[in-house]
Structure 1
Amino acid sequence: MTDLAAPAAPADAPPRDLERGLKNRHLQLIAIGGAIGTGLFLGSGTVISLTGPSIIFVYMIIGVFVFFIMRALGELLLSNLHYKTFGDIAKDMLGPWAGFFVSWTYWFSWVVACVADIVAITAYTQYFAPDIPVWVPALLTAIGLTILNLQPVKWFGETEFWFAIVKIVAILGLIAVGIVLIVTGYTSPDGVQASVTNLWEHGGLFPLGASGFIMGFQMGVFAFIGVELVGTAAAETQNPRRNLPKAINSIVVRIIVFYVGAMVVIMSITPWDQIEAGTSPFTSTLLLAGFGAAAFAINLVVLTSAASSANSGLYSGTRMLFGLAKDGHAARVFAKVDRRFIPRNAVFFTCVFLFAAIPLLYAGDGVVQAFTFVSSVCATLVLFTWGSIVASHLVYQRRYPEKHASSAFRMPFAKVTPWLVFAFFAFIIVTLLLGESTRPALLAAPIWFAVLGGCWMLRRRRLLREGQPLTGAIPTTTHPLDEVDSER
């Protein structure tokens, strides 16, 4: 079968692979954009309603553990530049079954996350056109995302670069305006004065007690889904040894500014108990403060942010499906790339599932309920992906102690932090189980893994029957990029 967009290659020609078309500025902004998504803009309103001002500590605690996970991922990716994704890492460190489970689960989690983003985009569109049928923006978004992901990777990088710029400017602008309002003691038309004291004068920092604080971790985790995108993008980055550490180490600053800083400003302007769970606190804060035009602009930014998040997720999911096909863990047709190095078949197959957002919008009681459900499913699945990274790092430490000791980008406190991360995951699972809105998604997760286990057994049997390896081999030879660096 010939390639869909290129003439047939000779039988002995090597298969086309992905192109390293992402530059340093692309990777850095993808890293930032991945941390600023729908979970922060829309989901933070729900978290605030559950926790009050203690959302600040929720984001800080989650951020610390996410940083450890990303440091583990960074060290593993840089230990062998032949790794394309953490699916490659899992199959190399944990076994072929792990690569199958991790890659398919991550692909599915991003399909679900993209559906959540489309649901969110529908909610934002209703702000501008409340009478428009909800299926219209959902349909147009799914089509638009498909078109965007059929473009060369450098155009994906450029798109995400400017999307991220818009998000950064918007949040920094909100923080700057908020600081001015707080310093000047601005009083809203509703008679609420902007002050830092609003953080603790409405029931304290923990107004809903320990239980409220704990329940905030359910949706809080979803806000951080996407930070691992930098690991997927590293496979198409021109200089990962220089660019990847910069992107990962900047996570701490991003969390402090974009998560903690934004929440402090928002709840200083608008007391937490006046922020509605079903709306974006970024928009509602400016509306309550009397800045209608600014709220309009922020809502437009939030809409583009959701589109950016979905675009990044779709990119990551299609690359994971591409890797699965190359390993023999998915239909070989998904391993084909066109003359522009786009895994077109993987894109089309993944995009089909985005249209599931349309019936979902009509299945529940509203957009917010639909968003909560799909985001809970995504949060449950991403814990498995993150857990595979940490488990792989433990095996890596034991199998390659010399390589770990000599690494220029070692995971901090590597003997202890993986176990702390696992304990944190157990805590998150308990919170998901306790929440009425998140419990169904958690209880449904074993069904996915049972189906996946059955699929693995069938795929394994077929590969053995055909005399094929259970997974693609990871080269241990020096990567061409390292050879270039050694010659300089």
Structure 2
Amino acid sequence: MAAQELKRDLENRHVQLIAIGGTIGTGLFLGSGKAIQLAGPSIIFAYLIVGIAIFFVMRALGELLLSKAGYQSFTDIAEDYLGPRAAFVTGWTYWFCWIMTAMADIIAVGVYVQYWFDIPQWIPAVICLIILLGLNLLTVKSFGELEFWFALIKVITILALIAIGVVLLVIGFKTTTGTVALSNIWAHGGVFPNGISGFLLSFQMVVFAFVGVELVGVSAAETSNPEKTIPSAINKIPLRILFFYVGAIIALLCINAWTELNPAESPFVKTFSLVGIPIAAGVINFVVLTSAASACNSGMFSTSRILYNLSRNDQAPANFAKLNKNHVPSNALFISTLVLSVGALLSKLIPETAFGIVTTISAICFIWVWGVVLICHLRYKKTKPELQAKSKFKAPFTPFVNYVVLALFAIILIIMLFADETRPALLLTPLWFILLFVLYSINRRKRERITPDPRDRLEGIRTNTEIRHD
């Protein structure tokens, strides 16, 4: 019989790169085109604002995870501070978050492959799913190694983009649409060319660009030295945001005017095309393709571990907690992959709008999960002052910053009501939470029927004792 415990095989270098690779993906390489179209150069400030907010969420999550050795994910945290219903809803919502995110990545794979081959989007999506499923059935160390190299490719690509941008800026290189210059940021309608409304409407896609940053927390149960590696990975988030997000966007906007970027294609690929290096554009397209595969790989990893933890807590079928000989939750992995295949189906049925729908749903659900983390941290600070006093990784500026970030998340959700693209998903997403509340009630009644009330058990013991005495 296979052991039913996850192995702590992820090393520091794996966790550090997962912290980058789990976040940098389709949201930046493809979604940034749409965000730039909405906000223009002011998108730089949107990335900064959301990035800072996410850092505070991660500091809160890090402190909570390290406050108790038994925590394997933030669903355990939600149960401790908000109760079993909140844990059930949050756990399944986080699974749904990653399903939607990985669907977006699968859809993106199909888009990227069409750069070379005029084939239906769903074909490369299915092929990618099958390959990643096979890789994820191997040991967690295999996942760590794969994600390490995937993330390394992303890092090198962004470094190359920024380096090329600096060189072109210094020499005043002329592209097919103009001269590479810092003035491109404000020369085409100003920094806020679409006004404050365009700036605000870009936040949905910017939020989606950061989904997955909390994957460090999900991997805590399989990290060999969480007390050291998790704080290290979290504390480097601000520098990574500044460099990999803001730096990359500034480079894009300097090389070409924001008006030249097509929201339907990767601005990274478009930029290298404008520079006049077609081979480089093909290479970059390959990189963003591997980036989408990497993000989907992270999605498979996280969704299978979430189902595993839900099953261990009697909040999902018991079969999801079974591990294969490699200590991988294979049943949970199979069911997650099956649901993910809906992304390939959407690529076939609605290829033009599929990406926008799933990214909006993903962003909404992640805002819920991040909000739960902040609320749990507030409860932790109020109800467990002794743990908070002993913490070696205290979240800064609490509780004030918790309320500020929660207010920002609420504002972003309200903004989504005013955009035609995001409104339908925002109005439909509550159905998911209603479904979960109903399922929790059914699950609780089922467990109550199976597990007798302790008072009834005590009454039975008393009755038997009286009979024996008689």
2:342 counterpart of 1:348 = no
Partner SS for 2:179 = coil
2:68 counterpart of 1:80 = yes
Residue 89 of structure 1 corresponds to which residue in structure 2? 77
2:230 counterpart of 1:241 = no
2:51 counterpart of 1:67 = no
| Structure 2: tracts of 5 or more residues without a match | 454-470
TM-score scaled by length of structure 1? 0.91
Describe the superposition over 1:173-212 as per-residue Cα deviations: whole angstroms up to 9, x where unpaired: 111011100110000134x000000000101111111111
Give the superposed CA RMSD: 1.1
Alignment of 1:30-45 (within 5 A): 30-45=18-33
Partner SS for 1:128 = coil
CA distance in 2, matches of 1:358, 1:405: 49
Letter in 1 for 2:167: V
Residue 476 of structure 1 corresponds to which residue in structure 2? none
Q: Does the 8 Å contact 1:27/1:234 carry over to 2?
A: no
Partner SS for 2:380 = helix
Residue 239 of structure 2, aligned match among 237, 253, 261:
253
Residue 203 of structure 1 corresponds to which residue in structure 2? 189
| Structure 2 CA distance for partners of 1:468 and 1:232, relative to 1, 3 Å | farther
2:294 counterpart of 1:308 = yes
Residue 482 of structure 1 corresponds to which residue in structure 2? none
Letter in 2 for 1:235: A
Residue 377 of structure 1 corresponds to which residue in structure 2? 361
Q: Does the 8 Å contact 2:182/2:254 carry over to 1?
A: yes
Q: Does the 8 Å contact 2:322/2:330 carry over to 1?
A: yes
Percent of residue pairs bearing the same amino acid type: 48
The structural deviation recorded for 1:363 is 2.7
Describe the superposition over 1:248-291 as per-residue Cα deviations: whole angstroms up to 9, x where unpaired: 01100111111100011101011001101111111101101112
| Structure 2 CA distance for partners of 1:338 and 1:359, relative to 1, 3 Å | closer
Residue 120 of structure 2, aligned match among 133, 137, 151:
133
Residue 202 of structure 2 corresponds to which residue in structure 1? 216
The structural deviation recorded for 1:399 is 1.1
2:402 counterpart of 1:418 = yes
Runs of 4+ that moved beyond 4 A: none
2:257 counterpart of 1:271 = yes
Letter in 2 for 1:77: L
CA distance in 2, matches of 1:286, 1:359: 31
2:238 counterpart of 1:230 = no
Letter in 2 for 1:94: L
Residue 320 of structure 1, aligned match among 306, 309, 322:
306
Residue 189 of structure 1 corresponds to which residue in structure 2? 176
Partner SS for 2:210 = coil
Residue 146 of structure 1, aligned match among 133, 136, 139:
133
Residue 477 of structure 1 corresponds to which residue in structure 2? none
CA distance in 1, matches of 2:22, 2:99: 16
Residue 172 of structure 1, aligned match among 159, 162, 176:
159
Describe the superposition over 1:209-251 as per-residue Cα deviations: whole angstroms up to 9, x where unpaired: 1111111101110000010001111210000101101100110
Q: Does the 8 Å contact 1:41/1:281 carry over to 2?
A: yes
| Structure 2 CA distance for partners of 1:468 and 1:172, relative to 1, 3 Å | farther
Describe the superposition over 1:119-147 as per-residue Cα deviations: whole angstroms up to 9, x where unpaired: 00000000011x21222101101211211
CA distance in 2, matches of 1:444, 1:133: 28
The structural deviation recorded for 1:468 is 7.5
CA distance in 1, matches of 2:176, 2:148: 37
2:433 counterpart of 1:445 = no
Letter in 2 for 1:179: V
The structural deviation recorded for 1:340 is 1.3
CA distance in 2, matches of 1:339, 1:126: 38
CA distance in 1, matches of 2:401, 2:8: 32
CA distance in 2, matches of 1:134, 1:188: 31
CA distance in 2, matches of 1:147, 1:115: 18
Describe the superposition over 1:405-452 as per-residue Cα deviations: whole angstroms up to 9, x where unpaired: 231111111120111111011111012111111111111111101111
| Structure 2 CA distance for partners of 1:26 and 1:468, relative to 1, 3 Å | farther
CA distance in 2, matches of 1:244, 1:427: 30
2:430 counterpart of 1:428 = no
Q: Which structure has the larger Rg?
A: 2
Residue 473 of structure 1 corresponds to which residue in structure 2? none
Letter in 2 for 1:309: A
Letter in 1 for 2:11: K
| Structure 1: tracts of 5 or more residues without a match | 7-14, 470-488
Letter in 2 for 1:132: I
CA distance in 1, matches of 2:310, 2:442: 15
Q: Does the 8 Å contact 2:107/2:122 carry over to 1?
A: no
Residue 462 of structure 2 corresponds to which residue in structure 1? none
